[in-house]
Structure formats: C-alpha cells, structure tokens
Chains A and B, each alone.
Chain A
Amino acid sequence: MLIDGQKVPVQPGQTILEAALTNQIFIPHLCGSKHLGGCRLCLVQVGSKIKAACTQKAEPGLVVQTRTPQVNKLVKMAWELLVASHQMRCAECSQAADCQLKKIARLHSLPLPTRTFPALSQEKITLSGDLIWLKGQCLFCGKCIEQCQQVGQGILGMAGKGEKRRLALWLNPNSCRDCQKCLGLCGALVKAGN
C-alpha cells in the first residue's frame, strides 16, 4: 500500500490508520485502540474518494493521500468544529501536555485558538458521586468508555442523540468502583472540588 508515496506493508485486518501508525506515519485522530469513525479527523483520500482511515480496511495496492487540498480543508473544518465545542481551558486540563488538538494544529499550521465558529454548550453533568463530566471539554473520542470496559466495569457509555449526546453511567451510578482510570485519560472528566 502507498501512503503519501511511501510504501507501507499491510497486515491482514488492519485499517489504514493502524497501518500508517505502525509505520510512523501520523494521521490525525482522537480515538484510542477502538475505532468508531466519529471524530472524522483521520479523513484521507483513497483513489478519488474521501474515507475515514480508522474504519477503512487497508488493502495491498491502495493509494492513500493524507494531505490533498480537499483532505486538508476537511480536516481543518473538523478540527475547527471540535475546537468550537471545546473550551480550551488548557491550564486546568490534565491532557494539556499531550493534546491531540494542538498536535493537529501544528501539523496543519492552524493558529490556536481560532474561533471560526462560536463556542457551543458548556454543560456540566455529575455522573456519580463526585465524578463530573464537562461537555465543553469533551471531544467524544470514546477513550474513557474503552478504558472502563478494559478495567472490567463497562458502565460508561453514550446517551442521547445529536447535540444532546452525552456521557452517561449505565445501570446504577453507584456501581462505579471509582478506579479513576478514566480521569487520567481525559480532561473532560474531573472530580468535584478539583
């Protein structure tokens, strides 16, 4: 497979994103190991079509371009939309050092902070006890849900649709074992008082 002119070996079952990342080619993305096709930052051009690299299967012979004008424009727009839904309170954010949004901004030379679009909702929702979800910080990457499943809890999930989509605890809120693994991953999940 060719990614931006570079030959990349393909393992069976891999997605384009996985193949690129294992070969040190960075394609912007927010997700962890589970690819949902949600953030749309990993859009690439395959042939003449725009595809999400995280869900498109890698196949021998594919010609993938990650930086065509069209891809750049779409990635920039997805990034700007996410930034508009994100409060950029970097001083308080636990992920400020390893911020994907900033990494993409550097890659695409996007000025930070830009405000092409007005900011959206900044709701705060208490999930359980003192665990609080900040909608204005969340990028809906799904890493916390994945983490929750990995520690064997699996009670974090998404509820609602469209703009009312939110993080929620399924079943009994008290069933959270308070392992705090999700807190370490994400700046949108905080403990009350912090």
Chain B
Amino acid sequence: MQIKACLETEIAAAKQNWPVLEGGCLGHCYAEPLVLVHNPGFPDLLYGFVNEGLARRLIKDYLLEGDPCLEYLLAAVEENELGLPSLQDFPRGQLEKRILLARCGQIAPGEIRQALARGAYAALASALEQKPEDLLNLVAKSGLRGRGGAGFPAARKWQVCRQTQAAERYLICNADEGDPGAFMDRSLLESDPHLLLEGMLLAAYIIGAKTGFIYVRAEYPLAIARLQTALKQAQELNLLGENILGSNFSFKLQIFQGAGAFVCGEETALLASMQGYAGLPSPRPPHPAETGYLGQPTVINNVKTLCFLPSVLAGNKPDTLLLALAGQIPNPGLLEVPLGTSLSEIIQIGGSGQDFKAVQLGGPSGSCLPRELLNLPLDYETLQTTGAIMGSGGVIVLNQQDCMVETARYFLEFTQQESCGKCSFCRLGTQQMLNILNRIVQGEGQKGDLELLQELAEGVKLGSLCNLGKTAPNPVLSSLKHFRSEYLAHIEKKQCPALACSALIEYYILPERCERSCDICLGKCPVEAIFSNEQRIKVIDPDKCIKCDSCLPACPPQYQAIIKRPKYI
C-alpha cells in the first residue's frame, strides 16, 4: 500500500494519468512487494523487492525516459523479443503448468474487462448453447475430482444432485480455507474472482441450480471485497442474474461469511452454519447432494474444483495441483504443477537445501513425509498407497531445526482446539493425545506412551463422526511411523534432536568465544538472565532463562558464542 501511494504521488507529480491497479498473486511471494509495469513499446516487466526509491525510479527513468532499470528487473511476464528473462525461464516457470493461475497476477482483479480480454466467461457463453447433460458427460470424462482434499469425482456428485427430485437446487462454493500454511483458495479469490464466478455459473447450469452461495471465511476481507466487486460487475454485464446472456438460465449468487470455525469446512457443518445452527457436522448419509441446504439437493464444491470448470469445458484435462509452499525455505509461494510432479522437484523450487528433513503435506489433516518418499509422484492414487492424503495442498518444508514431535503436537493442538466437541473420540481422544504429546515435549514422556498414542490415534481415526476427527491423528501417525527415533529420544534420553523443544535444551555462552567488549546479548535478554562475570565474560543463568531465543540471533556472527545444547537432566 505504501508503494502504491508512492507510485500514485510520483505519477501525479509527473502530471500523468497512468492508472495504478492492485494486482493478484503471481506466486513469487518471496520477492514481494512486486510491481508489474505495462509500458507500450516494452514487454510487461516485473520488478521484485520494490522499495520507495525503486518505485520513484520506475516512474521517472522507465515510464518517462524509457530506461527499464534492468538491474532491478525480476523478469518479463512473457517471452519477448528483447531477450529478457521471463517468468517461464525460472525453474519454477519451467515446472509449472498454469490452468487455475493462468490469469492470476496478470490482470487487475477489480477490472472485469481485463478478465474478459483474457478469455473469462467465454466457456460460459458456449456452454449455454449446449445441453447440461452433455456438459456433465464432458466433466465426467475429464475425471475432475473434488479439490477440497478427499478427491471425490465431481461429476458423480452432480449426477446425484441432478437425479434427486426437488423444487429447488443449490450450489455452494466452499471457500472456508482454514489450514495453517494454506493460501491457495485465498489467492485465487483475490487474484481472479471471475474465474470462480464463471466456474459456479457453469456448475449451476449443469446441476440446474438457480441460487448459489460462496461460503468464505470472514478472515479473508480482501477476498470478500474483491468477490463483491466481481459480483457487481458481472451483474452489470448480465453475466449473473435473470436470463444470463439472453438464455433461459438465471442464477443468483450471494456471499456468506463464515465465522472462522475450522470444522465449518466440513460440508455438513458448513450447511448447519449456513442455516443458522451451530456449526456441528452430522453423519452422512444423507449426503448434501440429496438433502442439503433447506432440505434441498445441494452441491458443495471447493474453490479449486469450480475454478477448473471453464478450462475443463474448453476440453482441457484438470491435471494440475495448486500448492502453497511454505516453511523454512528461501522461496515460499504459490505453485501450480502438473499432477505427478515429485515432491523433491517442488521443494527444490522452494530452495530447500542440505538441511532438509521432511515435508508436511496437507496441513492438520495431512502427513509428514520423510526424504525417502520424496520421489513419489504427487497424484491421488500414489499418495493413497503411502497413507498420505493430498489435503488442501499446503506443502510445509521442515528442516533439521524443526522437531517432528513438536510439529505433530502443533497440528494436533490446532485440530483439538477446532474440534466441535460433538463426538467423544474427537472431543476427548484428541485431548488425551495432546496431553501425551505435551508431556513428551516437556521431557516427561514415559515408557508405553508411544503405544498408547498409536492406539488412541488409530481409534480416533476410525471412530470419529466427521472427517475432522477422522484425519486429525494423521500428523501423529505419520511422524510416529517415519520419525519414531525422535519420539524415543524425547522419552528415553529426554533430548530433542532438533534442539527445538525448549524444555529439553539450554542456552549456553561459550566463554572462549565471548567477546569481552560486547554486551549485545545482555541488552536483548528480556528477563535479565544474562550477566557479565568478573572477566566480563557473559554467562546465562539457567534458572532465569525463559529460552525465548532473543540472545542467540543477537550475538554477532563473527563471535557466534551463544549455542543451544541438550539440557542434561
């Protein structure tokens, strides 16, 4: 926003009326803030790590005087005659196949005309001239799966909804993305809201729905604002509302803001929440496709599933995966890769190095995969053989400094807090599992804990009512399977191999490396646990130290006197 204001001031000062538009996500999150400059006569150029100085230069030197400041260029957006490197030349660009993200970042999400110029609503226009049954067959043939995590064939769900006799049918888009570390749906909504609108229109036409809702978390204010703008613009062009584009098809679309309970991403809980009840899941069957919103057949699909539709109806295969790459890596971001890409290719793009330990795939309902499993191709069938699930598509890279027990504990704590509390396995079982894990990371683990944990995890997985409970033990089960030695180190030796669990480590200042004239760590300690002895060597009082990790990064790199080491109990 600062950069935008700076650009606007600079343009005003130059007495020009060039528009500064908010763009979407290109996936190169590591290089933000990003500015894309469209200057007639040049290819569209993208600049990363933009500060106010560079923003001023872009206006003065590039737009006014024609010097594109190539030393600051990140890339050209497309291949060009000048031979400038383009986004496709990045390792990421070579691997990627952008179906969902085709327009993301390249159009201003607030301008419907930019989306139209790049093909938005073209699939709708041609679909309205065909029969819904034919379109459904096309979707069935393409093999489109639900992208919310479970991977259920979309066409089969729609078929059930179409076949059920009813006065009214509803279409709901599930945009209640709540996994920690996942931002695929949000990026799509913020960057290309018209893609979702078109997808929903197509799905509604196929199933025969006249009313649709977008269930989006209230924590996504920008996504909601951009959706509202998109809805308004689509209505003005008769792309929504009565007799769309002169056909017999009419469709109303509303935004419903969820209050932020993770469990409301579960479709029966989502329906309960939309009808004014507490967001509690209920047993299926009956499936919402038979009895859903207000008792009528209702199709609930994830954002990504619906966003695939325009491309699927244009004859393409929905053969990509949208991934949010995060964790301890230099290049996090949003990626769309072909199905079957291996995890190792993906984490290489993130820039993970020697330090790599594991990948957490699919957030709190997903699994930890170790180095040995990285060469598996990422697709639904192969993943199932390893017991992992695709989940929402969050990929979190963990390295040697991340403790697997703590990671499992963190995800379980999340699901335990987000459990609705309706069924005993999820309400009580996750609590007991969390108690055991809390004890283990505190160094109070006992013999037999792992067996009990395993037994509990399997029980919760089988016995819970809804998919939140059924998948909640996955992080624990997978880390127990692949990283059992770390659990054993915590329990038997009371040590954390990653030096991450604060109860099992201590901070220590190496006297031979400590520089007498330097007092930086002393000032950084919030609890005055560091003191200077008679030789002016700094010492940490372990009784006062709260292990906040303030001192370690403060110690200048030329000394590196402060270390973490296992606490000897």
Docked-complex contact B427 and A165, CB < 8 angstroms: yes
Within 8 A of A (CB), among B98-141: none
Interface stretch, picked from A32-40, A88-96, A146-154, A177-185, is A32-40
Interface stretch, picked from B296-304, B415-423, B476-484, B519-527, is B415-423
Docked-complex contact B421 and A160, CB < 8 angstroms: yes
Docked-complex contact A162 and B420, CB < 8 angstroms: yes
Per-position binary interface string of chain B over residues 32-45, scored 1 when its CB falls under 8 Å from any chain A CB and 0 otherwise: 00000000000000
CA A115 to CA B114, docked complex, whole Å? 65
Within 8 A of A (CB), among B428-480: 428-429, 431-432, 435, 452, 455-456, 459, 462-465
Given contacts A36-B422, A55-B283, contact A74 B465 (CB under 8 A): no
- Cβ-defined partner of B462 (8 Å) among A36, A50, A56, A140: A50
Per-position binary interface string of chain A over residues 53-71, scored 1 when its CB falls under 8 Å from any chain B CB and 0 otherwise: 0011100000000000010
Interface stretch, picked from A17-25, A104-112, A116-124, A186-194, is A116-124
Docked-complex contact A74 and B283, CB < 8 angstroms: no
Determine the residue in chain B with the shortest Cβ distance to A70. B462
Q: Is A8 an interface residue (CB 8 A)?
A: no
Docked-complex contact A40 and B463, CB < 8 angstroms: yes
A162 / chain B contacts, CB cutoff of 8 Å: 416-421, 427
Residue among B278, B429, B463 with max Cβ neighbours from chain A (10 Å): B463
Per-position binary interface string of chain A over residues 81-106, scored 1 when its CB falls under 8 Å from any chain B CB and 0 otherwise: 11011000000000000000000000
- Cβ-defined partner of A163 (8 Å) among B282, B421, B463: B421
B452 / chain A contacts, CB cutoff of 8 Å: 116
Q: Is B425 an interface residue (CB 8 A)?
A: yes
CA A140 to CA B423, docked complex, whole Å? 9
Q: Is B316 an interface residue (CB 8 A)?
A: no
Q: Is B261 an interface residue (CB 8 A)?
A: yes
Docked-complex contact A77 and B278, CB < 8 angstroms: no
CA A161 to CA B463, docked complex, whole Å? 19
Docked-complex contact B420 and A38, CB < 8 angstroms: no
Q: Is B80 an interface residue (CB 8 A)?
A: no
Given contacts A73-B459, A161-B261, contact A81 B465 (CB under 8 A): no
Determine the residue in chain B with the shortest Cβ distance to A118. B435
Docked-complex contact B432 and A81, CB < 8 angstroms: yes
- Cβ-defined partner of A38 (8 Å) among B422, B455, B456: B422
Docked-complex contact A163 and B465, CB < 8 angstroms: no
Per-position binary interface string of chain B over residues 239-265, scored 1 when its CB falls under 8 Å from any chain A CB and 0 otherwise: 000000000000000000000010100
CA A55 to CA B281, docked complex, whole Å? 13
Docked-complex contact B455 and A77, CB < 8 angstroms: yes
Docked-complex contact A50 and B424, CB < 8 angstroms: no
CB distance from A34 to the nearest CB of B (A): 12
CA A41 to CA B418, docked complex, whole Å? 22
Given contacts A40-B425, A50-B462, contact A161 B283 (CB under 8 A): no
CA A40 to CA B466, docked complex, whole Å? 12
Chain B interface, number of residues (Cβ within 8 angstroms): 30
CB distance from B521 to the nearest CB of A (A): 39
Q: Is A78 an interface residue (CB 8 A)?
A: yes
CB distance from B315 to the nearest CB of A (A): 38
Residue among B282, B455, B459 with max Cβ neighbours from chain A (10 Å): B459
- Cβ-defined partner of B416 (8 Å) among A40, A120, A163: A163
CA A164 to CA B416, docked complex, whole Å? 11
CA A127 to CA B283, docked complex, whole Å? 30
Docked-complex contact A43 and B420, CB < 8 angstroms: no
Determine the residue in chain B with the shortest Cβ distance to A76. B459
Docked-complex contact A78 and B419, CB < 8 angstroms: no
CA A39 to CA B464, docked complex, whole Å? 10
Given contacts A77-B459, A78-B463, contact A165 B428 (CB under 8 A): no
Q: Is A158 an interface residue (CB 8 A)?
A: yes
Q: Is A52 an interface residue (CB 8 A)?
A: yes
CA A38 to CA B425, docked complex, whole Å? 9
A40 / chain B contacts, CB cutoff of 8 Å: 423-425, 463-465
A56 / chain B contacts, CB cutoff of 8 Å: 283
CA A70 to CA B416, docked complex, whole Å? 24
Determine the residue in chain B with the shortest Cβ distance to A52. B283
B422 / chain A contacts, CB cutoff of 8 Å: 36-38, 165
CB distance from A143 to the nearest CB of B (A): 15
CA A155 to CA B327, docked complex, whole Å? 47
CB distance from B442 to the nearest CB of A (A): 14
Docked-complex contact A39 and B424, CB < 8 angstroms: yes
A165 / chain B contacts, CB cutoff of 8 Å: 420-422, 427
Determine the residue in chain B with the shortest Cβ distance to A49. B462
Docked-complex contact A37 and B282, CB < 8 angstroms: yes
- Cβ-defined partner of B427 (8 Å) among A37, A118, A163: A163
CB distance from A15 to the nearest CB of B (A): 10
CB distance from B430 to the nearest CB of A (A): 8
CA A50 to CA B283, docked complex, whole Å? 13
CA A74 to CA B470, docked complex, whole Å? 13
CA A175 to CA B197, docked complex, whole Å? 47
B431 / chain A contacts, CB cutoff of 8 Å: 120, 163
A163 / chain B contacts, CB cutoff of 8 Å: 416, 419, 421, 427, 431
Per-position binary interface string of chain A over residues 162-177, scored 1 when its CB falls under 8 Å from any chain B CB and 0 otherwise: 1111000000000000
Docked-complex contact A158 and B462, CB < 8 angstroms: no
Determine the residue in chain B with the shortest Cβ distance to A79. B424
B462 / chain A contacts, CB cutoff of 8 Å: 50, 70, 74
Docked-complex contact B428 and A120, CB < 8 angstroms: yes
CA A82 to CA B283, docked complex, whole Å? 20
Determine the residue in chain B with the shortest Cβ distance to A41. B424
A116 / chain B contacts, CB cutoff of 8 Å: 452
B283 / chain A contacts, CB cutoff of 8 Å: 37, 52, 55-56
Docked-complex contact B463 and A85, CB < 8 angstroms: no
CA A39 to CA B421, docked complex, whole Å? 11
Determine the residue in chain A with the shortest Cβ distance to B262. A161
CB distance from A144 to the nearest CB of B (A): 16
Determine the residue in chain B with the shortest Cβ distance to A51. B283
Determine the residue in chain A with the shortest Cβ distance to B460. A77
Chain A residues packing against B (C-beta within 8 Å): 36-41, 43, 50, 52, 55-57, 70, 73-74, 77-78, 81-82, 84-85, 116-118, 120, 140, 158, 160-165
Q: A39-B423, A81-B429, A158-B278 are in contact. List 10 more A-B contacts (CB 8 A).
A: A37-B283, A37-B422, A38-B423, A40-B463, A40-B464, A74-B463, A162-B420, A163-B421, A165-B420, A165-B427
- Rank and list the top 8 A-B pairs by shortest CB-CB distance, nearest first: A165-B421, A81-B428, A55-B283, A162-B419, A77-B459, A117-B432, A37-B283, A162-B421
Identify 19 residue pairs between A and B in the complex whose beta-carbon atoms are under 8 Å apart, listed by A's number.
A36-B422, A37-B283, A40-B463, A40-B464, A50-B462, A52-B465, A55-B283, A74-B459, A78-B424, A78-B425, A81-B425, A82-B428, A161-B263, A161-B420, A161-B421, A162-B420, A163-B416, A163-B427, A165-B427
